[in-house]
Amino acid sequence: MLEIDSGDSVRISTPNAGWYLASGEQFEPRDEKLDEGHALAGPIAVRGARAGGTLAVGIEEVVPGPWGVTLTTPPHLIKWELADGLGRGSGLEVELRPFLGVIGMPPPEPGIHSTAPPRRWGGNIDCAELLAGSTLYLPIPVDGALFSAGDGHARQGDGEICGTAIECPSEATLTLTLVDRSPLEWPIARTPDAWLAFGFGDDLDAAARIAADGIVQLICRKHGLGAEDALALASVVADLRVTQVVNGVVGVHAVLRHDAFRSTTMS
């Protein structure tokens, strides 16, 4: 297990979600019980991390491998050639927006935990807005943090409708920093364009309520507004988006753009 100091950066390289390397070969050897989920780099221990604290994950760079695949109903799939910021497959061409689908830490309970669902400590969030230049803030569940990441996506739409994105091997540079702030209940993120608040639940209603509460709390904290004013403002300028509906536990993220509003001085 790698152990780093707060503020250190790590470079990771992971196979795609099916454990296929950039060469096209499947990663071996694998333990059928322990390695049935996503191929992740980790765990990475952060010195000084304590349960109840906050970990900031700075996403410095995400580089997709030379190929990717989108699976629908077996055996149908699209194979993509990835190069020069574009994906080409089945006569189609799309611009790439690479990100990591899984970023997070394990639940505090002992045992073997599935990589499939997102949790309040992160995991399989599958948020297409967590591009390079973003910072994801996560509540820390266990001492040391035990952070892992992977599941490279070259491009994905909100919702991940068929259950897969352009699943690709990838490399990424991440900076892990312990932050002194009020305890977080659920993840939030700062992207170059907006603040995000995440909610996960058994259905979209539950996830949406958590995300909405998160963005209201963020407005209160960042702009010094009372709860009712923040709720009203969120209803006016924040957007709820479906993160994904395919991981058992579904996700919603609330989006508050940095240019959504500005303060005024009344004369």
The domains of the chain are located at 2-179, 193-257
Using the structure block, give the residue that is written with the tokens 């010094």: 224
Predicted structure pTM score: 0.94
Each of the 267 residues of the chain gets a pLDDT tens digit; together they read 899 999 999 999 999 999 999 999 998 877 777 788 899 999 999 999 999 999 999 999 999 999 999 999 989 999 999 999 999 999 999 999 999 999 999 999 998 899 999 999 999 999 999 999 999 999 999 999 999 999 999 999 999 999 999 999 999 999 999 999 888 999 999 999 999 999 999 999 999 999 999 999 999 998 889 999 999 999 999 999 999 999 999 999 999 999 988 877 554
Residue 148: strand pairing partners: 104
Question: CB atoms < 10 A from the CB of 91, how many?
Answer: 6
Q: Which CATH number fits the domain 193-257, given the four candidates 3.10.28.20, 3.40.50.20, 3.30.479.30, 3.90.79.10?
A: 3.10.28.20
Q: Is 66 helix (H, G, I), strand (E, B) or coil?
A: coil
Check whether the bond before 29 is cis (ω within 30° of 0).
yes
For the sheet containing 170-179, what is the strand order? 8-14, 170-179, 54-64, 135-139, 188-190, 194-201, 250-257, 239-244
The residues near 83 (Cβ < 8 Å, ≥ 6 apart) are 66
Number of H helices, E strands in the chain: 2, 18
Using the structure block, give the residue that is written with the tokens 């491998």: 65
d(CA 202, CA 200): 7
Using the structure block, give the residue that is written with the tokens 């060469």: 23
To the question of domain 2-179 being in CATH 3.40.50.720, the answer is no
State the helix-helix crossing angle for 227-237 and 204-223, rounded to 10 degrees.
Answer: 120
